[in-house]
Amino acid sequence: MTAKISFQGVGKTFSSRGRQLSALEDITFEVRRGEFLALVGPSGCGKSTLLDLLAGLSAPTTGEILVDGAPVTGPGLDRGVVFQQYALLPWRTAQANVEFGLEAKGVARRERADRARHFLDLVGLSGFGDRYPHELSGGMKQRVAIARSLAFDPDVLLMDEPFAALDAQTRDSLQDELLRIWERTNKTILFITHGIDEAVYLGQRVAVMTSRPGRIKKIIDIPLGSRTETEDLRSDPTFARYRHEIWTLLRDEVVKAQAQEHAADHWGTAGERRPRWHGLARSRPPRRGRRPGPAPTSDHQEAGVD
């Protein structure tokens, strides 16, 4: 098998308030043609940044990404992105949403309708074409989003935690559907998740990322064969072994990530990420009361004095 996607020494640095934050460092790995590769990592390790780079939505600071040997210079219809929050246009019906990508591709109107219907059928939504997103359940919305990405026939499907917002049962059935679709369409899929079970269940290989700055820690082969032919694969002892192996790899990273967050909290180096600050502030007793005098005006000042 040949490399469909190739990351070569890719790094991404964000600068914020004069500080440099390294999100990704020296990412080098390949995704084979027609492969289903799952990517797991602790939260905040730069998984989504990596996907943005591959989608061409932002440019890497160092290194380059090749698709079919050609460097990625921007978004393109050879790669389809499926987002966790569906990103459906709420004023369009399911059918018209699937047609959206085809409009971008410049497909003729008649053919657009036919193809949209075909792909809605493929994701099991026959007869739901005239529904608006707000009339569909979360699982159905994600099916529409998948149909939309498949319809313009990209070689590569980039999926950013697509099932994370769904309930367990819907998630299980969509995982099976995705595998079925993948087997039928021969797409190359890069699937980002924070679920270990999901990664082992879906991926032919699972890439484990380190905590920030994100690197590829290890890529593990999961030679479990066709998932759709085995019944209840998740309770197979081999499945459990892989699951445990990845769990061990990730645990160290999660511990490190938490230590990072803690240190950052203490020294104020995590000031770039406001939400995290507030999250931590809620789970701890207020620190303001410790110091006499006027209340500090910002978290930064406070951390500085500390």
Partner 1 sequence: MTSTAYSTRADTTTATVDSSPDESAPFAGDAGPFRRRRPVALVGAVAQRTAAIAALLAVWETFPRLNLVDPTFLPPLSQVIEAWWTLATTGQLAQHVEASLARSLSGFGLAILVAVPLGLLIGWYRPVATLLNPLLEVFRNTAALALLPVFVLILGLGETSKIAIILYGCAWPILLNTISGVRTVDPLLVKSARSLGLSPLRLFGKVVLPAAVPTIFTGIRLAGAYSILILIAAELVGAKAGLGYLITYAQFNFDVPDMYAGIITISAIGLVINQLLVLLEHRFSSWRTS
- CA pair distance 3, 204, nearest whole angstrom: 15
DSSP string, 157-222: EEEESTTTTS-HHHHHHHHHHHHHHHHHH--EEEEEES-HHHHHHH-SEEEEEPSSSB-EEEEEE-
Give the one residue of 77, 164, 233, 281 binding partner 1; rule: CB under 8 A.
77
Count how many Cα atoms sit within 13 Å of the Cα of residue 248 in the half-sphere of its side chain.
7
DSSP symbol at 296: P
**Residue closer to partner 1, measured from CB, 79 or 243:** 79
**Residue closer to partner 1, measured from CB, 91 or 169:** 91
Part of the chain binding partner 1 (CB under 8 A), chosen from 20-28, 78-86, 161-169, 296-304: 78-86
Q: Does 109 bind partner 1 (CB under 8 A)?
A: no
Q: Does 75 bind partner 1 (CB under 8 A)?
A: yes
Cis bond leading into 223, ω under 30°? no
**Residue closer to partner 1, measured from CB, 106 or 285:** 106
Which residue intervals of the chain are DSSP H helices? Answer: 47-55, 94-105, 109-122, 138-151, 168-185, 196-202, 237-267, 274-283, 299-305
**Residue closer to partner 1, measured from CB, 87 or 240:** 87
**Residue closer to partner 1, measured from CB, 97 or 175:** 97
**Residue closer to partner 1, measured from CB, 91 or 184:** 91
Part of the chain binding partner 1 (CB under 8 A), chosen from 49-57, 136-144, 178-186, 255-263: 49-57
As measured in angstroms, the least distance from the Cβ of 77 to partner 1 is 6
Phi then psi for residue 283, to 5 deg, are: -85, 0
Q: Does 152 bind partner 1 (CB under 8 A)?
A: yes
Coil, helix or strand at residue 144: helix
As measured in angstroms, the least distance from the Cβ of 83 to partner 1 is 6
Q: Can you give the binding site for partner 1, defined by CB under 8 A?
A: 55-57, 74-77, 79-81, 83, 85, 87, 89-91, 100-101, 103-104, 132-134, 152
